[in-house]
Structure 1
Amino acid sequence: MWTDAHLDLAFNALNGRDLTLALDTLRQREPQSPDTATVTFEELRRSGVGLCLGTLFAMPQTAEHAGYTDWREARVQALAQLDQYRRWEDAGHISLLRSGGEVRQHAANYDPASSPLGVVLLMEGADPLRDVDDLPFWAEAGVRAIGLSWGKTRYAGGTDAPGPLTARGHELLSGMRELNVAQDLSHLDEQAFFEACELQPRCFASHSNSRAFVDGNRHLSDEMVREIGRRGGVIGLVLLGLFLKRGWDVGQPRVSLDEVVRHAEHYAELIGWDNVGLGSDMDGGFGNEKTPQGIDTYRDLERLADALPPEASGVMGRNWLRWLGANL
């Protein structure tokens, strides 16, 4: 059974994508989309994905996007996505998993012909939380992991927004440790990273590639990678061309799948294959125009599985299953 540690399922659904459709039908419904869809529930099932981390992602206001401007607006977005996951569960498309025991049971009983997709809720960017006192509400709702940042949040610096942990960030990480809510280190700026690992060492990086091959604070330095390895965490590989090859941009030929393997092998050299996984983000605001050559639908990730060396057999599923089963 494959495991993908980062899919923005509800975010995309609330932006008009019906993931219950067949992929061909979905694509026919949005022929003018600049980001051709690659993910549906059927695609995931036919690929062998039985478990994922599904995000609650509140989009902040940017030059390109209307979005939240304060925690109240961020909370509205996250609550709407939470409701979407619950409606999918009621309809039998997914099963929300709230503990390591439930993850292990789901994996043991999973039947690709009949089982729903197992989903562990991950909050990507902590701004939907009013403060640390709001954490029990989200934990009770099923959120099992939180990443403090996307860009800069009230809790820490993030992608393209350098900065340390704030006082709120210190309080939240301490609260997460007490409630056994894991920490996703993806998007966290390096100024905050190492202190965050100390405050909540139950941590991983759901979707982060290596800074050795792509510049910028969105990516992990070798020392950050080693720190995750020292904590026993897993790092998920992202399938976005911009995050795979230095200097690549839309309009150029798509990057080779070998670039994904290069990031994977670099991580394995630093922390071992058991700490490398998949965090494709393939429905995270980009379509197959930005995925590697040959990855036109989610099912094409079979080519990545075939391209990895034999010792990397846990990357597509087993490594995340082990971590989630032991740490949630």
Structure 2
Amino acid sequence: MTRHWKAALLVGALLTAPTVTHAEGGDDAGAAIHERVLVLDSHADVLLPSTPKRYYLDGRESRVDLPHLSKGGVDAIVLAVAVGPGPRDAAGVAAARREADEKLARIKAFAAADTSRVGIALGAADVERLNREGKIAVLVAFQNARSIGKDLTQIDRLYGEGVRVFAFDHAGHNDFADSSRPQPGEPVTEHRGLSPLGKHAITKLNDLGVLIDVSQLSTDALLQTLALSRAPVAATHSAARALVDNGRNLSDAELDAIKAKGGVVQITPFTSYLTLPDQASRDRFAAIRASYGLAADYASTYDGSEALPEARRSAYLDEISAARTKASLSDFVDHIDYIAKRIGWQHVGIGSDFDHGAGVTGFDSAADAPNVTRELLRRGYSEEQVAAIWGGNFLRVLRAAEDAKAVKGEKLKSIS
């Protein structure tokens, strides 16, 4: 893997290229190019024994374990210390923190299990160093401030534990920010974007050099983050709302704003963000919902099923998940194409959200990553552009976040 690090270094020189250019095609060419570029996945989850089996590959495997990463030629991955929605009282926060800490421990154990092949990266330079050494680089991310309650000092603790990417939200609002997906019973907005605590957190994250992840934020919270941050941001696992009108997807105005800040939008192969359900899926949904005593109309997983007892709802979600016709690799790359044409290929990348429900036909695990390269080449992207989309764009933004810390440090020196 030592050849890959050069690809990321090309990105700065490529930013002046005006259009997508034609690349040499063919499976052999695609394999060779995939081997040369630095392949980085900007967001994947961590499986626990308590994780529902529907999130596992074939009910038993991780999509981003070492065998799948190695087979797919994935050189770097961002693993998220993430929790979902839930209570925000003291007991709920404590339970969420236990889950987050367990995921953090598993990430560290994954890296420690084979130090000859895997290493923890604490920044962009570490990703490139580990790549030169022939190792898979693991960056640690954090998602959903529900697990830290109202304790701003937890950001310092997480930074000390290696977190270098930080997302405020998952589904549901928390004490830092509004989510793009309010939970049943929640208002559409609680803070009108970021809370005062969230605004303080932006400054702290900039001061630490942590990359801010705007995936899952409400539009107001996203735009406020862009206005307050000294550094570009990333949406580590999103898609284009112009293609599929899903609240988790980014509107054209949001895409434009992220570009204006110098940021990057990483596309996820998550079926419900890439395509609308076909008629066969809708028919299956209706039959499943009827068997659980729910109205036939299906809009989301929070469409009445949340009232079911926990075990029964879990079974329902398993069935609904299996009933949905998967999107295709082509559907996935359609979103990359759209955003590349809207805001430039310098501002788009790939974040799988594997092990949390993502996976499409042709890109259902890290092992399928070469298929993405082949499809990009088939559509006319050059090797340099593929290198940027697979890892260079994200590393540029990560480095810019690190530089925000350095800028503050220089200002402090001049004051003293």
Asked if structure 1 preserves the Cα contact closer than 8 Å seen for 2:73 and 2:370, the reply is: no
Alignment partner, residue 223 of structure 1? 253
Equivalent position of 2:207 in the other structure: 178
Structure 1 residue 71 displacement after superposition: 2.4
Which residue of the other structure, out of 391, 398, 409, is the alignment partner of 1:324? 398
Whether the aligned pair in 2 keeps the contact of 1:58 and 1:68 (CA below 8 Å) is no
> Which position in structure 2 is the counterpart of 1:21?
none
Cross-structure match for 1:142: 162
Per-residue CA distance 1:262-291 (angstroms, 9 max, x = gap): 1111111122112111101122135xxxx3
What amino acid maps onto 1:165 in structure 2?
L
Cα separation, partners in 2 of 1:292 and 1:88, compared to 1, 3 Å: closer
User: C-alpha offsets along residues 39-61 of structure 1, whole Å, 9 cap, x if unaligned?
Assistant: 32111112111111110012333
**Which residue identity is paired with 1:103?**
V
Asked if 1 retains the 8 angstrom alpha-carbon contact of 2:44 and 2:353, the reply is: yes
Which residue does the alignment assign to 2:179?
Answer: 158
Shift of 1:68: 9.3
Paired residue for 2:389, among 268, 290, 315? 315
Displacement of 1:295 in angstroms is 3.2
Map of 2:370 onto structure 1? 302
Supply the AA of the counterpart residue of 1:128: S
The CA deviation at 1:105 is 1.7
Cα contact 1:225–1:271 (8 A) shared by 2: yes
Corresponding position of 2:142: 123
Compared with structure 1, are the counterparts of its residues 125 and 68 closer, same or farther at alpha carbon in structure 2 (3 Å cutoff)?
Answer: farther
Q: Partner residue of 1:60?
A: 85
**Counterpart amino acid of residue 123 in structure 1:** F
Q: 1:326 to 1:104 in 2, by over 3 A?
A: farther
**Alpha-carbon deviations, 1:121-171, whole Å to 9, x = none?**
111112222422222111111111211111211111113214321122112
- 2:333 pairs, out of 255, 258, 261, with 261
Secondary structure class of the residue paired with 1:54: strand
Q: Is the 8 A contact 1:61 1:68 kept in 2?
A: no
Segments of 4+ moved more than 4 angstroms: none
Q: Residues 40 and 198 from structure 1, CA distance in 2 versus in 1: closer, same or farther, beyond 3 angstroms? A: same
Closer/same/farther in 2, CA of residues 208 and 297 from structure 1, 3 Å limit: closer
Percent identity, aligned pairs only, is: 24
User: Does the aligned pair in 1 maintain the 2:270–2:357 contact within 8 Å?
Assistant: no
> Is the 1:131–1:168 contact (alpha carbons within 8 Å) kept by the matching residues of 2?
no
Quote the Cα distance in structure 1 between the aligned partners of 2:99 and 2:269: 25
Aligned counterparts, 1:85-124, within 5 A: 85-92=107-114, 94-107=118-131, 109-111=132-134, 115=135, 117-124=136-143
* Other-structure match for 1:194: 223
Is the 8 Å Cα contact of residues 233 and 397 (structure 2) preserved in structure 1? Answer: no
2:273 and 2:247 map into 1 onto residues whose CA distance is: 11
Q: 1:3 aligns with which of 40, 43, 47?
A: 40
Aligned partner of residue 60 in structure 1, secondary structure: coil
User: Shift of residue 296 of structure 1?
Assistant: 4.4
Tell me the distance in 1 between the aligned counterparts of 2:113 and 2:270.
31
- Distance between the aligned counterparts of 1:99 and 1:247, measured in 2? 39
Are the aligned partners of 1:5 and 1:206 in contact in 2 as well (CA < 8 Å)?
yes
Please name the residue that 2:28 is paired with: none
SS of 1:227's equivalent in the other structure is: helix
After TM superposition, the score normalised by the length of structure 1 is 0.83
Kindly name which structure, 1 or 2, has the bigger radius of gyration based on alpha carbons: 2
Structure 2 length-normalised TM: 0.66
Unaligned residue ranges in structure 1 (runs of 5+):
18-25
Question: Secondary structure of the residue that 1:49 maps to in structure 2?
Answer: coil
The residue identity in structure 2 corresponding to 1:229 is K
Change (3 A) 1:70 1:133: same
Q: CA deviation at 1:118?
A: 1.0
Q: Tell whether the 8 Å contact from 1:100 to 1:327 is kept in structure 2 after alignment.
A: no
Higher relative contact order (CA 8 A, sep 6+): 2
Assess, with a 3 A threshold, how the Cα gap between structure 1 residues 176 and 294 changes in structure 2: closer, same or farther: closer
Structure 2 contact 232–400 (Cα < 8 Å) conserved: no
Give, in angstroms, the shift of residue 179 of structure 1: 1.8
Amino acid at match of 2:393: N
**Which residue number in structure 1 is paired with residue 15 of structure 2?**
none
Cα pair 1:255 1:293 within 8 Å, conserved: yes
Q: Distance in 2 between matches of 1:179 and 1:225?
A: 25
Is the Cα–Cα contact under 8 Å of residues 42 and 77 in structure 2 kept in the other structure?
yes
Structure 2 regions of 5+ residues with no counterpart? Answer: 1-37, 183-187, 282-320, 403-416
> Are 1:81 and 2:92 matched, yes or no?
no
